[in-house]
């Protein structure tokens, strides 16, 4: 009798708190899906309006479906050149920045040296400086040394390598920290010299990190507007082209190019997620 009387309110509290935590858990799930919807909304709009057939100059209101702009994506003057410039700068800057950044990461993780904290600071500062200041200061350098630098393709390239390097260092460094040095020692014990060890052991092991860093670098480069715009002179990358177009009216071809870039990027990223997922499953199977 007494036990029942003592237990029933507690059971009720248990039920209430379970109901409460149930509601709370689902509220959070509902919120998560809403938030994802918020993040996806502009992307959906960009893709949707690449299929729009606008009446008049403005592509703001949905008028009707067409594939015309996907077929004639380069029928707007300058867009083709701008896209090609973006890709060229992106590839070139990514290759150079990945090489420079990986070497810095190797030095920081592997070696004790004087000036280490200064180096860390120099890597950190460009990431902590607003883009407009990075772009503006570089522009003052170029404006005051016109004998050496003329604004254009190469100044964009220089700027991109400069702001990408730090991100490469951070990405590769994160991977190197968990790296088993015994593998390299083993290679050396077996008679390989430093270069062979680096080529046959170190490089293959850090290659995935370098690839991830390079993809990030390319994404940063192809997306950059502020630094590029300040240092481009008359040269147009895709974002600079969009800026010019936005002052008058944005043709649907801009949505087409942006959608195409998005689709390529998301495919690569999804591939990576699936690859990781399968890798995780495999290692789970082993242990």
Partner 1 sequence: MSSFFHRHPRLTPYLLLAPGIAWLAVFFLVPLAFLGYQSLQSGIYPNFEFTWEFSNFTDAFSDYRAQFYRSFLYAGLATIACLLLAYPLVYWIAFRSGPWRNLFLLFIVAPFFVTYLVRTLAWLNILASQGPVVGFLRDIHVLGPNEGLLYSTFAVISGITYNFFPFMALPLYVSLEQIDPRLLEAAKDLYASSTQAFLRVTLPLSAPGIVAGTLLTFIPAAGDFINAALLGTPKQTMIGNVIQAKFLESLDYPAAASLSFILMGTILVALLVYARLVGSERLTG
Under rule CB under 8 A, residue 35 binds partner 1: yes
Residues 43-82 that bind partner 1 (CB under 8 A): 43, 45-46, 49, 59-61
Report the residue number, 210 or 254, with the smaller CB distance to partner 1: 254
For residues 104 and 165, the answer to whether their CB atoms sit within 8 Å is: yes
* One of 13, 36, 84, 183 touching partner 1 (CB under 8 A): 36
Query: What is the pattern of x (binds partner 1, CB under 8 A) and - over residues 196-235?
Result: -----------------------x--xxxxx--xx-----
The answer to whether the Cα torsion of 29, 270, 46, 250 is positive or negative is positive
| Closest distance of CB 147 from partner 1, Å | 14
Structure tokens at 237: 């990358």
Q: Which long-range contacts (CB under 8 A, 24 or more apart) does 202-209 make?
A: 205/179, 206/102, 206/172, 206/175, 206/176, 206/179, 208/175, 209/171, 209/172, 209/174, 209/175, 209/176
* Closer CB to partner 1, 72 or 140, in the complex: 140
95 lies in the site for partner 1, by CB under 8 A: no
CB of 261 to partner 1, least distance (A): 6
Q: Does 176 bind partner 1 (CB under 8 A)?
A: no
Helices (DSSP H) in 111-152: which residue ranges? 116-128, 131-144
Q: How many CB atoms lie within 10 A of CB 25?
A: 10
Contact with partner 1 (CB under 8 A) among 123, 156, 209, 210: 123
């Amino acid at each position: 009798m007494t036990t029942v009387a003592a237990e029933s309110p507690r059971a009720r509290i248990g039920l209430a708190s379970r109901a409460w935590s149930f509601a709370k858990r689902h509220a959070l799930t509902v919120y998560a899906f809403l938030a994802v919807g918020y993040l996806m909304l502009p992307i959906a709009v960009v893709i949707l309006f690449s299929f729009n057939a606008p009446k008049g100059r403005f592509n703001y209101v949905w008028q009707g479906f067409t594939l015309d702009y996907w077929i004639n994506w380069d029928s707007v003057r300058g867009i083709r050149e701008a896209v090609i410039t973006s890709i060229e700068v992106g590839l070139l800057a990514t290759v150079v920045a990945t090489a420079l950044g990986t070497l810095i990461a190797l030095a920081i993780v592997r070696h004790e040296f004087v000036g280490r904290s200064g180096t860390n600071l120099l890597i950190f500062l460009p990431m902590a400086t607003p883009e407009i200041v990075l772009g503006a200061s570089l522009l003052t350098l170029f404006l005051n040394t016109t004998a050496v630098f003329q604004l254009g393709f190469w100044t964009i390239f220089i700027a991109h390598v400069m702001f990408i390097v730090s991100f490469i260092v951070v990405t590769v460094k994160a991977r190197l920290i968990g790296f088993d040095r015994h593998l390299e020692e083993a290679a050396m014990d077996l008679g390989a010299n430093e270069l062979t060890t680096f080529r046959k052991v170190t490089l293959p092991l850090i290659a995935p990190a370098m690839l991830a860093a390079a993809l990030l670098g390319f994404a940063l480069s192809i997306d950059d507007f502020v630094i590029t715009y300040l240092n481009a002179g008359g040269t147009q990358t895709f974002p600079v082209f969009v800026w010019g177009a936005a002052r008058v009216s944005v043709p649907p071809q801009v949505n087409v190019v942006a959608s195409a870039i998005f689709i390529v990027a998301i495919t690569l990223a999804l591939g990576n997620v699936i690859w990781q997922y399968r890798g995780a499953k495999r290692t789970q199977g082993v242990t």
